[in-house]
Structure 1
Amino acid sequence: MSVNESKPIPKLFAVLGVFLLVVAVSVLLSVPPASGYEIYIYTAYPWYFWVSIVGAIVAGQLVVLSSADNDDLGTFGAMLAIGSVVTLTLLPYVRGYPVYGRADVLTHLGMVHDIGEFGIAGNIYPPTHLLVGALSGATGLEPMTLINVLPVAFTVVFLGSMYLLVEAQFVDRKRAAFALPFVLLPVLGSSHVTAVPFVLSLLLTPFALYLLVSERRTAAVPVRAMLVLAVVGVVLFHPLTALFFLAALVVYAASERVLAADGPSPSPTNVASLTVVVFSAWYLSFVGILIRFRNVVTGLLSRGGGESQLQGTVDTVERTSAEMSDVLKIAVLEYGATGVFYGLATTFLAAVVLWWLMGRVQPRRFVAVFGATTVLFAGLSVVFLTNDLIVGFGRPLAFGKIFAAVLAGGAWYAVWQRTDRTAGRAAVAVALGALLVVVVLLSVASMFSSPLVAKTNQQVTQMELDGMEWTFENRNEELLIDEFGIDQYRFYDMRNGLETSSETVRRSDTNPPAHFNYTTYETLGRSYESDRYFVLTRLGRITYPAKFPGYRDQWQYTPADFDRLEYDSSVGQVYDNGEFDTYLVNGTRRSTDAERATTAGRVPRAQ
Structure 2
Amino acid sequence: MNMLKQHFEKIFIIISLTFLFLSIVILLIIPPTAGYEISIYDVYPPFFWFSIIFSIVSAQMSLLFGYLADKNKFGIYSYLLIILNDLVLIFLPIIRGYFLFGTGDVMSHLGFLQVIFNSGFIGSNNMYPLIHVLASSLVILTGLDVKTVINFFPQFSSLFFLLSFYLIARSFYKKDVFYLALIFSPILLFTLTYTTFAPYVMGILLLPFIIFLYFKSQSDKSVVFTILLLISLISIVFLHPLISQIYVLLFIVMTLIYYNQDKLFKKEFKLNLRSGMNLILLISVIFFSWNAYLYLVTKDIKKFYAGLIGEGSGSTLGTYTSTISYAQPNYIDLVNLTFSKYGQYIIMGIIGIFCVICLVKIIRNNKIKENYLFSYILPSMMFILFLLLSVTTFVGTYIFDFARFIPLAFIFAIIFIPVCVNKKLKTIKLEVINGKLSKYGIFKLVSFGLILLLVVYFSTFNLYFSPIVKTSNEQMGKAEFNGMATFFDIRNDNFQILSMGISPYRIYDAIYGKNVKKKMISYEGVTPPDHFGYSENSSFSQVVNQSTYFILSKRGEILYPSLYSEYKDKWRFNPSDFQKLKESDNGVHRIYSNGDLNIFLME
TM normalised by structure 2 equals 0.91
Partner of 2:419: 410
Partner of 1:382: 391
Partner of 1:205: 207
TM-fit CA distance, 1:425: 3.4
What are the superposed Cα offsets for residues 363-405 of structure 1, whole Å, 9 maximum, x if unpaired?
Answer: 7212111001000001111221233333310101111110012
CA contact (8 A) 2:5 2:66 kept: no
Residue 499 of structure 1, aligned match among 489, 504, 515: 515
Structure 1 residues 297 and 535, CA, compared in 2 at 3 Å: closer, same or farther? Answer: closer
TM-fit CA distance, 1:525: 1.0
Partner of 1:603: none
Structure 1 residues 326 and 225, CA, compared in 2 at 3 Å: closer, same or farther? Answer: same
Mapping of residues 263-412 of structure 1, within 5 Å:
263-265=270-272, 267-287=275-295, 291=302, 307-362=314-369, 364-366=372-374, 367-412=376-421
Structure 1 residues 415 and 126, CA, compared in 2 at 3 Å: closer, same or farther? Answer: same
Partner of 1:482: 498
Partner of 1:561: 577
After TM superposition, the structure 1 stretch with the greater mean CA deviation from structure 2, 399-408 or 541-550, is 399-408
Partner of 1:589: none
TM-fit CA distance, 1:230: 2.0
Partner of 2:223: 221
CA contact (8 A) 1:344 1:411 kept: no
Partner of 2:188: 186
In the alignment, structure 1 residue 7 sits paired with structure 2 residue 35:
no
What are the superposed Cα offsets for residues 121-176 of structure 1, whole Å, 9 maximum, x if unpaired?
Answer: 43111111111111111122211111111111011111000122123221x22222
Structure 1 residues 471 and 295, CA, compared in 2 at 3 Å: closer, same or farther? Answer: closer
TM-fit CA distance, 1:293: 9.0
CA contact (8 A) 1:205 1:234 kept: no
Q: SS where residue 403 of structure 1 aligns? A: helix
In the alignment, structure 1 residue 76 sits paired with structure 2 residue 38:
no
TM-fit CA distance, 1:201: 1.3
Q: SS where residue 12 of structure 1 aligns? A: helix
In the alignment, structure 1 residue 63 sits paired with structure 2 residue 70:
no
Structure 1 residues 378 and 67, CA, compared in 2 at 3 Å: closer, same or farther? Answer: same
What amino acid is the match of 2:94? Y
Percent pairwise identity: 27
TM-fit CA distance, 1:296: 12
CA distance in 2: counterparts of 1:483 and 1:295, whole angstroms: 25
Partner of 2:602: 585
TM-fit CA distance, 1:295: 7.9
Partner of 2:144: 141
Q: SS where residue 546 of structure 2 aligns? A: coil
Q: SS where residue 293 of structure 2 aligns? A: coil
Q: SS where residue 237 of structure 1 aligns? A: coil
Partner of 1:573: 590
Mapping of residues 415-430 of structure 1, within 5 Å:
415-419=424-428, 421=431, 422-423=437-438, 424-430=440-446
Q: How many residues align?
A: 580
Mapping of residues 509-528 of structure 1, within 5 Å:
509-528=525-544
CA contact (8 A) 2:102 2:196 kept: yes
CA distance in 2: counterparts of 1:278 and 1:219, whole angstroms: 25
CA distance in 2: counterparts of 1:335 and 1:475, whole angstroms: 43
Residue 128 of structure 1, aligned match among 105, 128, 131: 131
Mapping of residues 233-248 of structure 1, within 5 Å:
233-248=235-250
In the alignment, structure 1 residue 87 sits paired with structure 2 residue 103:
no
- Which structure 1 segments of 5+ residues have no match? 300-304, 587-607
Partner of 1:24: 23
In the alignment, structure 1 residue 44 sits paired with structure 2 residue 43:
yes
TM-fit CA distance, 1:298: 13
CA contact (8 A) 2:254 2:276 kept: yes
CA contact (8 A) 2:82 2:186 kept: yes
CA contact (8 A) 1:412 1:432 kept: no
TM normalised by structure 1 equals 0.91
CA contact (8 A) 2:462 2:468 kept: no
Whose relative contact order is higher, 1 or 2, with alpha carbons under 8 Å and at least 6 apart?
2
CA contact (8 A) 1:344 1:409 kept: no
TM-fit CA distance, 1:430: 2.4
What are the superposed Cα offsets for residues 319-349 of structure 1, whole Å, 9 maximum, x if unpaired?
Answer: 2223332222221111111122222122111
What are the superposed Cα offsets for residues 90-122 of structure 1, whole Å, 9 maximum, x if unpaired?
Answer: 100010100011111111111111123341243
TM-fit CA distance, 1:362: 4.5
TM-fit CA distance, 1:428: 2.4
What are the superposed Cα offsets for residues 227-274 of structure 1, whole Å, 9 maximum, x if unpaired?
Answer: 112222333211111111221211111222134332132543333332
CA contact (8 A) 1:244 1:399 kept: no
What amino acid is the match of 1:253? T
TM-fit CA distance, 1:30: 1.4
CA distance in 2: counterparts of 1:376 and 1:500, whole angstroms: 41
CA distance in 2: counterparts of 1:54 and 1:564, whole angstroms: 44
What are the superposed Cα offsets for residues 192-222 of structure 1, whole Å, 9 maximum, x if unpaired?
Answer: 1111111111111111111112222111111
CA contact (8 A) 2:315 2:396 kept: yes
CA contact (8 A) 2:309 2:399 kept: no
CA distance in 1: counterparts of 2:292 and 2:57, whole angstroms: 45
What amino acid is the match of 2:78? G
